Structure 1
Amino acid sequence: MSHQAAVLTAPGHFEFVQKEVLPTAPGEVLVQIGVVGVCGSDIHMYQDGRIGNTEILSPLVLGHEFMGVVVAAPEGTLDGDDKPLRVGDRVAVEPHVACGHCRECREGNPNLCTHHTFMGVYPRDGALQSFLNAPSHNCFVLPDAVTDIGGAMLEPLGVALHALRLGHVAVGDTAAVVGAGPIGLLLVQLLKLNGVTALHVTEPLDWRRELAQKLGATSAASGVAPEHDSLYDVVFEAGWADASVQDAAVLARPGARVVLVGIPGNDAMTVQHSLARRKGLSLIFSRRMAHTYPEAIRLVAQGLIDVDQLVSDVYPLADVTRAFERHANYEQGVVKVMVTLPPSQPEN
C-alpha cells in the first residue's frame, strides 16, 4: 500500500511521491498525520540542506511538529504517559526517539541520547506524509480541549518549557527574550505564568513585537537599546543564534543566566568573550526537550498557554512549498505556519 509524501530532494525543492506504508515494528503504531508545523530548523534544512553539522545526504521527508490519528495499534498498547492507546485516538507525537539504554537516557536526559533518531531530521523521515509509524511511547493522547493545531504546537511548547526549566526562573525575577518567533512567544507566556516582574522582548518584526506585548511582555524593542543593557536576571535567546547570542549577553545583568535555544544555520555562534566573562554569565545550552508533553498538554487544555493564537497561516500539503517560502521570507504577518493533510486511505 502507498500514500503521498512531500519529499525534500534538493534545497528549496519538494517533490510529491508515493511512499510505501511500512509494517509497524514491535512497539510501534501507525499514525495518520493531520497537522504539521513548520519550524525554523525545517527552514534551515529546506534552504541549506543541513541543520548544524547534520547534512541531508538523500531525499528526506521533513516535519517534526505534528499530530495525527492512530489507525493501527495492538491491543494493550500504552502511550508515553502510560495511558491506553487505541485506534481512533488523536495523538501528539514526540519526534525524538531515544535509545532508552545509554547513560544519558538512564540519567533522565533522553534529549541528550547519543544513539537517538529524530523524525524529520536526516536520516529518519518526518511527518509531511499521510502516514507514519511511531513508537507508541512517543504518542500522547489529546483531550478534546486541545485542537488539532494545538496538538502540533505541543512540540515547540515542549522546547520552550524545557528551556524555561533550565533557566531556573524564580517568582520576582526579571527576564528578557531575544526573538519573538513561536518559541520566543511561548517563552513569553511561560515567563508571565511564572511571575516575572519585568519581561522584555527584542524582535525586528513589528507584528511579532505587538503579539509579544499582547501575550505578556512588559516592553519590546527592535534591538538592544541602552536603557535595557545589563538589566535581566535570566535571558532566553530564541532567534537564529547569530547576533542574537551577543544581544542576550548584553541584556543580561552580571551573574545572570543566559539560555541559548536557537540553532545557527552554519553551526557557528558569536558572543563577545570579554563581555560574557566580565559579567560572569552562565551560558546554558538547551537541546530539544525532556519529559514535557504531559505538562504541555495540561497547560494548553486548561487555557494557561494559548498556542492557537500563534498560528498565522495554514496551508494544505499541496501548497507545502508556499508554506515554507512564506516562513523563510518572513512575509508580513507570518508567525507560525501549519500544513494540514486531508484524511486519506492508503492506495493498493
Structure 2
Amino acid sequence: MSHAAAVLTGPGQIALTERELPAAAPGEVVVEVRTVGVCGSDIHMFADGRIGNIEIERPLVLGHEFMGVVVQAPEGTLDGDDRPLKVGNRVAVEPHVACGHCRECREGNPNLCTRHTFMGVYPRDGALQQYLTVPAHNCFVLPGGVTDNGGAMLEPLGVALHALRLGHVNVGDRAAVVGAGPIGLLLVQLLKLAGVTALHVIEPLAWRRDFAARSGATSVAATYDPAEDSRSDVVFEAGWADDSVQTSALLARPGARVVLVGIPGDDRCTVQHSLARRKGLSLIFSRRMAHTYPEAIALVERGMVDVDALVSDVFPLSQVQRAFERHSRYEDGVIKVIVQVG
C-alpha cells in the first residue's frame, strides 16, 4: 500500500507523489498526520532550496509543525511525558530528534545537539505526508481542549516560549517585538501574560499590526520610530528582514537583553557594533526550543494563549503548492497557513 506525500522537487516547486507506508521500529510509532503548519523556515527552503548553510540535495518532504493520530504503537511505548502511547491517541510531535548522549543533551540542552536530525529539514523528511514514523518520546498526547490546528501550533508556541525564557522577562519590564509573524504574535501573548507594562511591536504588514494590538501590544508601528529609541528592557527580534537586528538594538535600553529568534534569508544578521557595544547589550541567539511541549499544551488547554486565532488559511494537501505560494507572497490577511493532510 502507498500514501500521498508532498515533495519539494526544486525551488518553488512541490509535487504530490505516492510513497510506501512506513512501519515502526522499536521506540517508534506511526502517526497518521492530520494538520501541518507552514513555517517561515519552510518558506526559506521552498523559495531558495536551502536554509542557512543547509542545502537540499534531493527531493524533500517539508513540514515540522504538526499533529496526528497514532495508528501503530508497540506495546509498552511511552510518550515524551513517560505515559503509555496507544493507537488512537491524538499527539503533537516535537520535530527535533536529539541524540540524547552528547554533552549538550546531557546538560539539558537537546536543542543544541550537534548530532540531531530535524523533521522537514534535509536530510530528514517531514510531515507533509499522510503517514510518518516518529520517535515515541517526541510525541505528546493532546487533551480534548486542544484542536487539531492548535496541536500543529504548539511547535511555534514552543519556539516563542523558549525565547521568552531566554529573555528573563521580569514583571513590570518594558518590552518590544520586531516582526509580528506567528512567532512574534505568540510572543506578544506570552509577554502580556508575563506582566510587561509596555509592549511595542514593529511590523510592516497592517493586518498583523492590528492583530498585535488586539493581542496586547500597547503600541505598534510599521517601521522604527525614534521616539521608542532605548526604551525597552528586553527586545525580541522575530523577523527575517535585513535591518531587524539593528532595529532591535536601537529599541533596547543600555544593559538590555536582545533575543534573536528570526532566521535571515542570506544567513547573515547585521548590527552596528558601536551601538551594541556602547549600550552593553546582551545578544542572545534562540535555537528552536527545549522542554516546552507540556507547558505549551497547558497554556492552550487553559485558554491562556489563543493559538487558533492565528490560523488565517487552511488548505487541503491537494492544494499544498497554493498554500506555500500564499504564505511566501505575504498575500493580504495571511498569518498562519495550515495544510490539512488527513
Q: For the superposition of Structure 1 and Structure 2, which TM-score range results when normalised by the shorter chain?
A: over 0.9
Counterpart mapping for 1:171-250 below 5 A? 171-240=171-240, 242-250=242-250
Give the aligned residue type for 2:129.
Answer: Q
Structure 1 position 22, deviation (Å): 2.5
Write the deviation string for residues 164-220 of structure 1: whole angstroms up to 9, x where unpaired.
Answer: 000000001110000000000000000000000000000000100000010000000
1:44 match? 44
Alpha-carbon distance in 1 for matches of 2:72, 2:143: 19
1:163 match? 163
1:324 match? 324
- Secondary structure at the aligned position of 1:249 is classed as helix
Q: Is the 8 A contact 2:38 2:338 kept in 1?
A: yes
Root-mean-square deviation over aligned CA pairs: 0.6
Write the deviation string for residues 228-256 of structure 1: whole angstroms up to 9, x where unpaired.
Answer: 01100000000005211111001000100
Alpha-carbon distance in 2 for matches of 1:190, 1:242: 26
Give the aligned residue type for 1:311.
Answer: V
Alpha-carbon distance in 1 for matches of 2:157, 2:136: 21
Alpha-carbon distance in 1 for matches of 2:16, 2:110: 33
1:265 match? 265
In the alignment, does 2:22 pair up with 1:18? no
Alpha-carbon distance in 2 for matches of 1:212, 1:225: 17
1:149 match? 149
Which ranges in structure 1 are unaligned for 5 or more consecutive residues? Answer: 343-348
1:345 match? none
Give the aligned residue type for 2:12.
Answer: G
Write the deviation string for residues 126-167 of structure 1: whole angstroms up to 9, x where unpaired.
Answer: 000000000000000000000000000000000000000000
2:338 match? 338
Write the deviation string for residues 284-334 of structure 1: whole angstroms up to 9, x where unpaired.
Answer: 000000000000000000000000000000000010011001110000000
Q: Is the 8 A contact 1:29 1:135 kept in 2?
A: yes
Give the aligned residue type for 1:305.
Answer: V
- Secondary structure at the aligned position of 2:267 is classed as coil
Q: Is the 8 A contact 2:26 2:74 kept in 1?
A: no
Alpha-carbon distance in 1 for matches of 2:279, 2:203: 24
Give the aligned residue type for 1:7.
Answer: V
Q: Is the 8 A contact 2:22 2:131 kept in 1?
A: no
Percent identity over paired residues = 77
2:136 match? 136
Q: Is the 8 A contact 1:241 1:260 kept in 2?
A: no
Write the deviation string for residues 84-130 of structure 1: whole angstroms up to 9, x where unpaired.
Answer: 11000000000000000000000000000000000000000000000
Q: Is the 8 A contact 1:315 1:338 kept in 2?
A: yes
Counterpart mapping for 1:306-321 below 5 A? 306-321=306-321
2:54 match? 54
Give the aligned residue type for 2:221.
Answer: A
Deviation beyond 6 Å, 4+ runs, structure 1: none
Alpha-carbon distance in 2 for matches of 1:296, 1:236: 19
1:76 match? 76
Alpha-carbon distance in 2 for matches of 1:24, 1:56: 26
2:4 match? 4
Write the deviation string for residues 43-96 of structure 1: whole angstroms up to 9, x where unpaired.
Answer: 000000000000000000000000000000011211101111100000000000
Give the aligned residue type for 2:340.
Answer: T
Structure 1 position 23, deviation (Å): 2.1
TM-score (norm 2): 0.99
Alpha-carbon distance in 1 for matches of 2:223, 2:31: 43
1:100 match? 100
1:30 match? 30
Structure 1 position 25, deviation (Å): 1.6
Give the aligned residue type for 1:13.
Answer: Q
Alpha-carbon distance in 1 for matches of 2:270, 2:77: 47
Alpha-carbon distance in 2 for matches of 1:311, 1:254: 37
